[in-house]
Amino acid sequence: MYRLHKRGVTPPFRIWSLGARPEPAQERLPDELIVVDDGSRDRSAEIAEATGELLGFLDADDLARPRRLALQVAALAAGPGLDAVIGHVENFLTPERAEALRGRVGFAEGRMPGYLPGALLMRNASFPGFDESLPAGEVVDFFARVRASLRLRVLDEVVLLRRVHGGNVTLHDPALHAGYLEAARRAIARSRA
């Protein structure tokens, strides 16, 4: 199952990076593809419609690397006690706006562990859901819960290219800051319980 944020029409390159094109980009194709609006307040219910054993996610801004599914499926198969795997992520400036954005938009460079839904593959039965009561920061809260309660492995390989285009919500939405603080408060409260 793959989640793509819908902003009108989902451009084909996002789905193509999952293999939905004449020459598959993925070495292993997804068994199922479900488009879910990650701005929706009922997305956990929509994700629950997935019938496969594994769940993966992909934001509409990002690209899955060609070996992503093969690497992550193999890692889960080799570790039957694992609930989830994440790979590394690399940010990149979108080519059509790179010159205009260079030096104006701050973002982490180089590869880093991908605590983003787009770098995650997990067992469907382990999916804890997104806390949709949070106005923002639900991904921070999600990964705090995943790291605290599930068996997670971090792969060394880059599995996701995160597109920086200047309109990324995480770069410009101050409301996210309050959501991040609330997610942190909840994580601290869970650790003390």
In this prediction, residue 123 carries a pLDDT of 94
In sequence order, the 6+-apart residues with CB closer than 8 A to the CB of 112 are: 88, 89, 90
pLDDT at 145 over 80: yes
Residue with the bigger pLDDT between 184 and 105: it is 184
In this prediction, residue 154 carries a pLDDT of 96
Q: How many domains does the chain have?
A: 1
Summarised one tens digit per residue, pLDDT across range 112-142 is 999 988 899 999 999 998 888 876 778 888 9
For residue 7, being part of any structural domain is answered with: no
Residue 156's CATH number: 3.90.550.10
- Contact present, 97 and 165 (Cβ < 8 Å): yes
In this prediction, residue 168 carries a pLDDT of 53
Summarised one tens digit per residue, pLDDT across range 151-178 is 999 999 999 988 776 555 555 566 666 7
For residue 139, being part of any structural domain is answered with: no
Q: With bands split at pLDDT 50, 70 and 90, how would you rate the model's confidence at 23?
A: very low
For residue 20, being part of any structural domain is answered with: yes
pLDDT at 4 over 50: no
In this prediction, residue 150 carries a pLDDT of 95
For residue 140, being part of any structural domain is answered with: no
For the chain, what percent of residues have pLDDT higher than 70? Answer: 68
For residue 172, being part of any structural domain is answered with: no
Residue with the bigger pLDDT between 24 and 85: it is 85
